[in-house]
Amino acid sequence: MRISVVGAGYVGLVTGVNLAADGHAVTFIERAEERLADLAAGRMPIEEPGLAEAYAANADRISVRPELGDLSSMDLVLIAVGTPIGEAGDPDLSQLRSALDALRAWPELDVSVRSTLPPGTSARLPAMLDRTNGEHVSTNPEFLRQGSAMSDHRHPTRIVIGTYPETGDAHRAKVEALFGGLDAPRLYVDVAAAELIKNVANGFLALKLSFVNEVAALSEEYGVEVQSVLDGIALDPRIGSTYMRPGLGFGGSCLPKELQVLAAAGRRQGLPMHLARAVSQVNIEQQDRFVRRIQAELPRKGARVGLLGLSFKADTDDLRGSPALHVARRLLDAGVQVVAHDPAVHVDRAEAAAPGILMVQDPMAAIDDADAVIIGTEWPTYASIDWAAARGRVRFPLIFDGRNLVDPGAAAAAGFLYRGIGRLSAEPAPAEAARR
């Protein structure tokens, strides 16, 4: 098929490049000049493992342009623009509106929306396209995880296709063809159900993480290793062990947003949505509690920390909603000098997001003369740091591990005090402590 993908961000690019690899001719429509220029030059504007290689390998079936152009020979348009939260906490649908506005000139064109839509939006898509019904319209929400998005696209847990009562068989066949060779359960549901499946899936994942984080804080206070509690509950098959890793909080463009979307959607219907709001609060408290724990052990004046990791999770350069970035900003606000390293985040973007931060190219340079080393993102490279070598570079040997990435025993053996999330604090052996 000839497919236009509107919006070349994380979802649009991953989807479009995979479709090109499947043999479709893909045109990306991207209005951000910098992203467009990168793509035109064959550079990836985002960091996602495997994306650049797949883009290069299928370049002959990929084109990029700033506007839709003539769509008369297009088989299908996929919408993958952002649907962020606006200033007032309500969904900002301006990108969606502008993308659909531009399609009004093509009343028969098949359009499928891959962006995450807040409850109640899908029902309005035909009207936003200036059409009387959804004969040529559908939704197909994306469930990829940044960092493993390319493989998630190839191995989806499910394919959800939202349709209208009028959606025609010819349209369904085109959308089905997008996922032709993929082995996954298909769910054909009403568009309103499709949007809720996506919103609720993210809400539930966030709920698990906040619950585990609250349990981790409780475990810390009672001197219990949180993992022993989680191992103990995981054996109950109704509970299990997946997505139950304590940490300094969740971030990204999806989970925090989805909780606000759910809360706002419920509010509009007069529902209190206690859980959605509480899950958000726990997540913010988790990050603030971590900052308070750090501050309590820093010198009052002239403190300096080495922050390892700034992206919201490993294997992405995305700073949206990043807990590590939140920690950096809070410490900078408190007058702490923050020297940071991240393998993927560009220096300019980091310095714009957290004015005053100093970015360095090497993790060891970040911890030079630090009063504390903070693990902000679970980049694998930080798991193999030589703590004995690091001991000679820091001003004070203290690790705050926001991702439970470091082996507490190894850190203590190298002379570091270790503080994790729901983990028992580790202390160096007395002889080592005496040397500090």
Ligand X SMILES: NC(=O)c1ccc[n+]([C@@H]2O[C@H](COP(=O)([O-])OP(=O)(O)OC[C@H]3O[C@@H](n4cnc5c(N)ncnc54)[C@H](O)[C@@H]3O)[C@@H](O)[C@H]2O)c1
**By C-alpha distance, which of 332, 350, 333 is closest to 341?**
350
The Cβ of residue 432 has, within 10 Å, a number of other Cβ atoms equal to 16
The Cβ of residue 124 has, within 10 Å, a number of other Cβ atoms equal to 14
Q: Closer CB to ligand X, residue 253 or residue 287?
A: 253
Backbone angles phi, psi at 91, to 5 degrees: -60, 140
Q: Residues with Cβ < 8 Å from 202, sequence gap 6 or more?
A: 116, 254, 255, 258, 259
Q: Closer CB to ligand X, residue 310 or residue 373?
A: 310
We find the least distance from the C-beta atom of residue 415 to ligand X, in angstroms, to be 39
Which position among 1, 2, 25, 31 is part of the footprint of ligand X (CB under 6 A)?
31
State the residue number with the nearest CB to ligand X.
9
3 state DSSP class of 53: helix
Q: Closer CB to ligand X, residue 67 or residue 183?
A: 67
Which position among 5, 20, 21, 82 is part of the footprint of ligand X (CB under 6 A)?
82
Dihedral in degrees, nearest 10, Cα atoms 345, 350, 352, 355: 180
Residues 144-173 that bind ligand X (CB under 6 A): 144, 146
Q: Are 428 and 412 in contact (CB under 8 A)?
A: yes
3 state DSSP class of 4: strand
Catalytic residue among 229, 254, 262, 405: 254
Residues 255-284 that bind ligand X (CB under 6 A): none
Q: Which stretch binds ligand X (CB under 6 A): 75-83, 283-291, 297-305, 403-411?
A: 75-83
Which position among 18, 253, 260, 404 is part of the footprint of ligand X (CB under 6 A)?
253
- In the block, which residue shows the tokens 């469930």? 143
Does residue number 7 form part of the binding site for ligand X (CB under 6 A)?
yes
- In the block, which residue shows the tokens 């070598």? 389
Which position among 5, 17, 19, 80 is part of the footprint of ligand X (CB under 6 A)?
80
Which position among 62, 74, 81, 406 is part of the footprint of ligand X (CB under 6 A)?
81
* Radius of gyration, CA atoms only, the chain: 24
We find the least distance from the C-beta atom of residue 254 to ligand X, in angstroms, to be 5
Pattern 92-111, ligand X, x by CB under 6 A: ---x--xx------------
Would you call 254 a catalytic residue per the annotation?
yes
Does residue number 12 form part of the binding site for ligand X (CB under 6 A)?
yes
Which position among 58, 83, 112, 140 is part of the footprint of ligand X (CB under 6 A)?
83
Residues in the chain: 436
DSSP for 154-174, please give it.
Answer: HS-S-EEEEE-TT--HHHHHH
DSSP β-ladder status, 2-6 and 62-65? unpaired
Does residue number 9 form part of the binding site for ligand X (CB under 6 A)?
yes
Q: How many Å apart are CA 192 and CA 169, to the nearest integer? A: 19
We find the least distance from the C-beta atom of residue 297 to ligand X, in angstroms, to be 34
Does residue number 378 form part of the binding site for ligand X (CB under 6 A)?
no
We find the least distance from the C-beta atom of residue 151 to ligand X, in angstroms, to be 14
Pattern 402-431, ligand X, x by CB under 6 A: ------------------------------
Q: Residues with Cβ < 8 Å from 265, sequence gap 6 or more?
A: 118, 119, 120, 199, 273
Which position among 4, 5, 10, 376 is part of the footprint of ligand X (CB under 6 A)?
10
Interacting residues toward ligand X by CB under 6 A: 6-12, 29-32, 35, 80-83, 95, 98-99, 115-116, 142, 144, 146, 253-254
Which positions are annotated as active-site residues? 254
